[in-house]
Structure 1
């Protein structure tokens, strides 16, 4: 129950005397100041175990209000609605409260005011709508009174500050993931028009956020029904979450055709001096790339490339605009890896008009002298056959695009380069086409394109300039071929030399200028490049310098560890659900009000973002659904087996909470700060999730330690496999392995020790 002191009548200066509060027998009560609508104040001792509706009812009785308590609600002094979920926290913190209209009453009044054309009535109502629309009870009443139609009419007919407020309210509504299941196509067109024509950041920011939500509401991602797989918020106590999956990329892209300048405008705003404008535009571009369907893939990506989106993002890398923009740049970088991977794995098809035209332009730019026919032309370009699908089998359309870019960028220079090889002795000609494809392959290896995703936490501007780097590197390949007087059997040797140069030049690309890359590729002498390659081989290759095999094993162990670490980090960036644990060391054994928590590590690896929920729901990509966060630098230790899960939440789990005490769940862990207090107490749903996250979180710390046996075993297995492959890969250098080992004669006495 809740016990209240007598009302305090405000004096002239708004202050009054506080009455002596009666004792409360149940629990340890907290005292909150509650102010009524007419200015009365009481000091209330509230039992946090009560339902909020019961607290409001007792308050109305104590204040002798004649209306039913259903017309009232409690809010904090910052207008946060008091609910069953936050009542305990508000009572604990002794937050000042006020008795206000129930959300349904506020909704009815606001809908009525929105129909007025009096600015003194209309505008304040719109401001209140922005504030209250994210409250579930308010939204239910607002939708029931046809408030959404009123809001859409305002968005359609107004500009300036009114439009900004209406769009913000709509964006807040869409955050609730219900109520916008049947928006008309005219609304999508209007949002596209606003983004294209409105330059004000207060207008474009919510409009871009709305369009991003529409893009991500893809019916292809609609999960199976059920509380464990639905995305959204509760529409009421005991009801299933509501979910919207009615739009997606195809719907939005169809409306952008109405405004051809839409995409150009969004890309141009990446160059805006306003960091927020650039951030919003980049977020929308990332959402579009991540959601584009196969039907529109080629067309959409081609439009982006023609608008030089990569160059604009590279310019953003040169400025430090904060963590949010940095995270979005890394997301774009990851999207570029996906695009590059898809192009690399897409076969070249001569029946495809675009592919055929690119091949013809390469031939025209090469200006190959007429010979015995098409086969002779392809051979002079360095192809082994005239089957282009087979020739580009390793590098796909990516290889064709890179070759085409090199050919048409400077046709005269390209023609001279091909002619110079054609005039050489056939055995000494560098097969240009094979060299070009080999460079694509080694660049893809350098940036780990083969994985299809990027885990890099640093900027890679040269990855975004893949074609330009390919151009420079291919020219370097041809120059090394000529300067070393190579012949066709030497192709692997020259390729290894180029690979070594790429590793050196692009090692620290986030801090390396394009001028330095050009200088290294265009001016480095063969002799110096070769010496550097041999020095590196002597340091890294145990077979060349006859170092013990364990040195090689140590190198491979580090590579394997980094690989597993990147995989663990990717798991953290993908995110996972955990049970909010009850720490076994707690004195009060209070269960968390929200049983589940979703964690996700951001791209910068600086913050763990999370959201608490009463049920598991689908979390969209990015961080917008995760309002809270923990700074990784605050995590001093990851302690294991520290918490218990409420019974029934996890299958096959031990009975953690008992009458006599609690036992720790085997998959529980806590994040401990340097001061010794817990930042989070979680229980993983499975052993695999537990291993991935405990080890990944541990690796984020400075010492980078490995906690789990599963991870350690994986690193060891990868190390041993890599060692066997290295020891078998000896034929390239034609190294003779002795069949027997010559032993030294035994020592004459025992005055010796074994060296390490």
Structure 2
């Protein structure tokens, strides 16, 4: 049979002739088409035809009396044949099936869900639904015939694998930007209950977790086009009544609070032996952290801290399944940088924040001190702990609620705290170590060490387990400060000197934290003697510029760091929009077999990010060619929102593909390339496996894609991190040259004067 000429059916096992003007010309069959009745024909399809034309001619040739609109073509894997992929399937001689059109299949599926004849039929219907609902034509028809309500009913009543299929179908439907705006609180609570049950199957929990993650991210500010509208107006974005961007953190968190033990169960699944389950749970926690609303932020973070989520993530860092979770863990670190920064910039206010008042009350009670009067008859309370004044709120101005929490944790971790304070009070006032002031200085020092300069910026390319145990490091460093104060015989004017000594030791103790053990850090803070630390510090001072350690300079570096990060981020995204050629690679798990089914048909792929930052458009080719600007040459695409992780070093070049004349021939079995990366989906596996032509292109794309993701923000290459640091240091030196050239003296600190006694003043406009 030939589609595109007058066909004639023959034995399906032999070639069929094509009739053209009365003469018979033997043709090599290129495709096999099987109908629903089991009839199989070999046919040659003209690649210039559209799918509708092919289906129409097949119906005519096979004498099918139903309208051609009722039918469609699928391949053996049930992938729908479209105008975009028809030519490729013809060329590769894929076996095709003539089946119901997606719209017809959707109507029949909805009817089967509505009838619910028996458990087996329901299970098979949902199994089919989870595959087809990703197709937009099917999904539109399914929604139009009220199939969504039947799917929700199944989610409320099904169990086991049937429930897993129903949840996966809902998850796949929610990849569309429409059609699920009617999901209500009862549905969200049902999903929460499913996840809250420790008995729920893993294949049930995975799609349920993904559904909640999608709902958390579907807030009004995430709707396409609303960011620009919000920036140009002061009010919230206005959305259509049927918009799916009507949920967000607050809506989901309200139902989470009703679910008994929900967060506890999700965090416990971080230790699941199933890597995908741990990954789904990490992604949900990251989305909650990234989208937490101001009104519920403190409550949510406090609950995470109570459940010790940081400890669970640190355990993951040493897990054997870590390769699949690297990106999620780096995202978590970046999110906790934001959390820590927010705490640091939240002012302590005992009148409006009951938690702050309770913390200060607990600190004072733990000290077991009583108020005294100084020589001027003024009450001494907080000064006994080592603050400079009795205005305790002002004492925490630079470190905020983070400093308050650290001091409280420090006291909780050390039952001998009252003895420490009594020992200091037994000394002459000039010789007393200001413990509380030292605690705040340690907070500032650790914030600088881990670059907690601004929300949303992190250039760490490795795991930071010590950062995730911030309070423990703070406690060790504060004890070290107190010990150095005593061993050095310091007096009240030596605070800056001792603080510099502690900074020097912290750099040593916290070095290479992704490979060092806790006992080594503990040893560096507890066992090192003053003399050895001082000698090393003196050598460092010979090489360092004292100017860079001054507080105003450190603040300037923090500001420049933020600007540099944003500059590099924009540059990386611009590289994605320009596009680049990559080698289509073999996934590492498929490299051990020469007949791998994942071997790419064409060795080269050009990828470009669209201007809307929503899709990666690409084309596969047997050889490189000049790709025009725009997206006309790039027929296929990957949705950026579907990318859950950018894994690196995951795949190898296929045989007989050399990226350039200097490339070495591939070996067998193939070895994963250090320039490879995979775009992983949480439920579809790998969406793309690529090898970059060089290190720069690899860094551009892996970091650019990470920075583009809604729950991302971290970088994975040392090259990008190095650029940010280099730009920061260059900018800092330029700024300092302006000052040093004018011989301007930079003070070590700036002391704010007392606030005005009234509002009867104005700021003069200096000319």
Q: TM-score, normalised by structure 1?
A: 0.75
Q: CA deviation at 1:225?
A: 7.0
8 Å contact from structure 2 (residues 454, 562) kept in 1: no
Give the match for residue 320 of structure 1.
Answer: 320
C-alpha spacing 1:563/1:517, structure 2 compared with 1 (3 Å): farther
Give the match for residue 76 of structure 1.
Answer: 75
C-alpha spacing 1:622/1:223, structure 2 compared with 1 (3 Å): farther
Structure-to-structure mapping, 1:489-568, within 5 angstroms: 489-541=493-545, 564=564, 568=568
1:621-651: CA deviation from partner (whole Å, max 9, x where unpaired): 997699876667533277xxxxxxxxxxxxx
Give the match for residue 612 of structure 1.
Answer: none
Return the match for 1:443 from 436, 442, 446: 446
Is the aligned partner of 1:423 residue 2:426? yes
Q: CA deviation at 1:144?
A: 2.0
C-alpha spacing 1:714/1:308, structure 2 compared with 1 (3 Å): closer
Give the match for residue 330 of structure 1.
Answer: 330
Is the aligned partner of 1:62 residue 2:66? no
Q: SS at 1:333's partner residue?
A: helix
Q: CA deviation at 1:501?
A: 0.8
Give the match for residue 304 of structure 2.
Answer: 304
Is the aligned partner of 1:485 residue 2:485? no
Give the match for residue 204 of structure 2.
Answer: 203
8 Å contact from structure 2 (residues 196, 262) kept in 1: yes
Give the match for residue 14 of structure 2.
Answer: 16
Following the alignment from structure 1 to structure 2, what is the Cα–Cα distance between the partners of residues 134 and 170? Answer: 10
Following the alignment from structure 1 to structure 2, what is the Cα–Cα distance between the partners of residues 52 and 266? Answer: 46
Structure-to-structure mapping, 1:397-436, within 5 angstroms: 397-411=401-415, 413-436=416-439
Following the alignment from structure 1 to structure 2, what is the Cα–Cα distance between the partners of residues 253 and 561? Answer: 33
Give the match for residue 360 of structure 2.
Answer: 359
8 Å contact from structure 1 (residues 439, 474) kept in 2: yes
Give the match for residue 692 of structure 2.
Answer: 634
Give the match for residue 135 of structure 1.
Answer: 135
Is the aligned partner of 1:261 residue 2:261? yes
Q: CA deviation at 1:207?
A: 0.9
Q: CA deviation at 1:135?
A: 1.0
C-alpha spacing 1:226/1:336, structure 2 compared with 1 (3 Å): closer
Give the match for residue 214 of structure 2.
Answer: 213
Following the alignment from structure 2 to structure 1, what is the Cα–Cα distance between the partners of residues 150 and 132? Answer: 16
Structure-to-structure mapping, 1:276-295, within 5 angstroms: 276-295=276-295
Following the alignment from structure 2 to structure 1, what is the Cα–Cα distance between the partners of residues 726 and 547? Answer: 27
Q: CA deviation at 1:436?
A: 0.6
C-alpha spacing 1:608/1:182, structure 2 compared with 1 (3 Å): farther
Give the match for residue 592 of structure 1.
Answer: 633
C-alpha spacing 1:508/1:703, structure 2 compared with 1 (3 Å): closer
Q: SS at 1:721's partner residue?
A: helix
1:418-469: CA deviation from partner (whole Å, max 9, x where unpaired): 1111111211111112111000000000000112232212110111111111
Q: CA deviation at 1:80?
A: 0.6
Give the match for residue 664 of structure 2.
Answer: none
Following the alignment from structure 1 to structure 2, what is the Cα–Cα distance between the partners of residues 106 and 297? Answer: 45
8 Å contact from structure 2 (residues 33, 95) kept in 1: yes
Q: SS at 1:42's partner residue?
A: strand
Give the match for residue 618 of structure 1.
Answer: none
Following the alignment from structure 1 to structure 2, what is the Cα–Cα distance between the partners of residues 226 and 414? Answer: 50
Following the alignment from structure 1 to structure 2, what is the Cα–Cα distance between the partners of residues 310 and 543? Answer: 36
Following the alignment from structure 2 to structure 1, what is the Cα–Cα distance between the partners of residues 228 and 732? Answer: 40
Q: SS at 2:273's partner residue?
A: coil
C-alpha spacing 1:564/1:598, structure 2 compared with 1 (3 Å): farther
C-alpha spacing 1:81/1:4, structure 2 compared with 1 (3 Å): farther
Structure-to-structure mapping, 1:619-630, within 5 angstroms: none
Give the match for residue 734 of structure 2.
Answer: 720
C-alpha spacing 1:599/1:159, structure 2 compared with 1 (3 Å): closer
Give the match for residue 169 of structure 2.
Answer: 169
Q: SS at 2:380's partner residue?
A: helix
Following the alignment from structure 1 to structure 2, what is the Cα–Cα distance between the partners of residues 120 and 512? Answer: 54
Following the alignment from structure 1 to structure 2, what is the Cα–Cα distance between the partners of residues 592 and 504? Answer: 54
C-alpha spacing 1:623/1:333, structure 2 compared with 1 (3 Å): farther
C-alpha spacing 1:228/1:394, structure 2 compared with 1 (3 Å): closer
Q: CA deviation at 1:46?
A: 2.4
Give the match for residue 549 of structure 1.
Answer: none
Give the match for residue 124 of structure 1.
Answer: 124
8 Å contact from structure 1 (residues 37, 99) kept in 2: yes
C-alpha spacing 1:581/1:90, structure 2 compared with 1 (3 Å): closer
Q: CA deviation at 1:296?
A: 0.8
Q: CA deviation at 1:170?
A: 1.1
C-alpha spacing 1:17/1:44, structure 2 compared with 1 (3 Å): closer
Q: SS at 1:420's partner residue?
A: helix
Q: SS at 1:98's partner residue?
A: strand
Q: CA deviation at 1:3?
A: 2.1
1:340-366: CA deviation from partner (whole Å, max 9, x where unpaired): 000000000021221111111111211
C-alpha spacing 1:519/1:723, structure 2 compared with 1 (3 Å): farther
1:1-21: CA deviation from partner (whole Å, max 9, x where unpaired): 96257455446xxx3335469
Q: SS at 2:139's partner residue?
A: helix
Q: SS at 2:33's partner residue?
A: strand
8 Å contact from structure 1 (residues 4, 44) kept in 2: no
1:90-121: CA deviation from partner (whole Å, max 9, x where unpaired): 33434332211111221222222222332343
Following the alignment from structure 1 to structure 2, what is the Cα–Cα distance between the partners of residues 179 and 457? Answer: 39
8 Å contact from structure 1 (residues 395, 441) kept in 2: yes
Q: SS at 1:449's partner residue?
A: coil
Q: SS at 1:43's partner residue?
A: strand
1:524-552: CA deviation from partner (whole Å, max 9, x where unpaired): 001111111122233445999xxxxxxxx
Greater shift, 502-511 or 78-87, is seen at 78-87
Q: CA deviation at 1:368?
A: 2.2
Give the match for residue 669 of structure 2.
Answer: none
8 Å contact from structure 1 (residues 134, 173) kept in 2: yes
Q: SS at 2:45's partner residue?
A: strand
1:404-426: CA deviation from partner (whole Å, max 9, x where unpaired): 11112233x11111111111121
8 Å contact from structure 1 (residues 74, 82) kept in 2: yes
Following the alignment from structure 1 to structure 2, what is the Cα–Cα distance between the partners of residues 249 and 711? Answer: 34
C-alpha spacing 1:420/1:604, structure 2 compared with 1 (3 Å): farther
Greater shift, 583-592 or 338-347, is seen at 583-592
Following the alignment from structure 2 to structure 1, what is the Cα–Cα distance between the partners of residues 73 and 689? Answer: 33
Greater shift, 444-453 or 265-274, is seen at 265-274
Q: SS at 2:260's partner residue?
A: coil
C-alpha spacing 1:510/1:569, structure 2 compared with 1 (3 Å): farther
Following the alignment from structure 1 to structure 2, what is the Cα–Cα distance between the partners of residues 56 and 117? Answer: 33
Give the match for residue 381 of structure 1.
Answer: 385
C-alpha spacing 1:220/1:714, structure 2 compared with 1 (3 Å): closer
Higher relative contact order, chain-length normalized (CA < 8 Å, sep 6+): 2
Give the match for residue 648 of structure 1.
Answer: none
Q: SS at 1:511's partner residue?
A: coil
Following the alignment from structure 1 to structure 2, what is the Cα–Cα distance between the partners of residues 637 and 408? Answer: 48
8 Å contact from structure 2 (residues 366, 418) kept in 1: yes
Q: CA deviation at 1:227?
A: 13
Following the alignment from structure 2 to structure 1, what is the Cα–Cα distance between the partners of residues 139 and 495? Answer: 68
Q: SS at 2:73's partner residue?
A: strand
8 Å contact from structure 1 (residues 30, 91) kept in 2: no
1:211-255: CA deviation from partner (whole Å, max 9, x where unpaired): 1111111124334479999xxxxxxxxxx9x95112111111221
C-alpha spacing 1:22/1:359, structure 2 compared with 1 (3 Å): farther
Q: SS at 2:325's partner residue?
A: helix
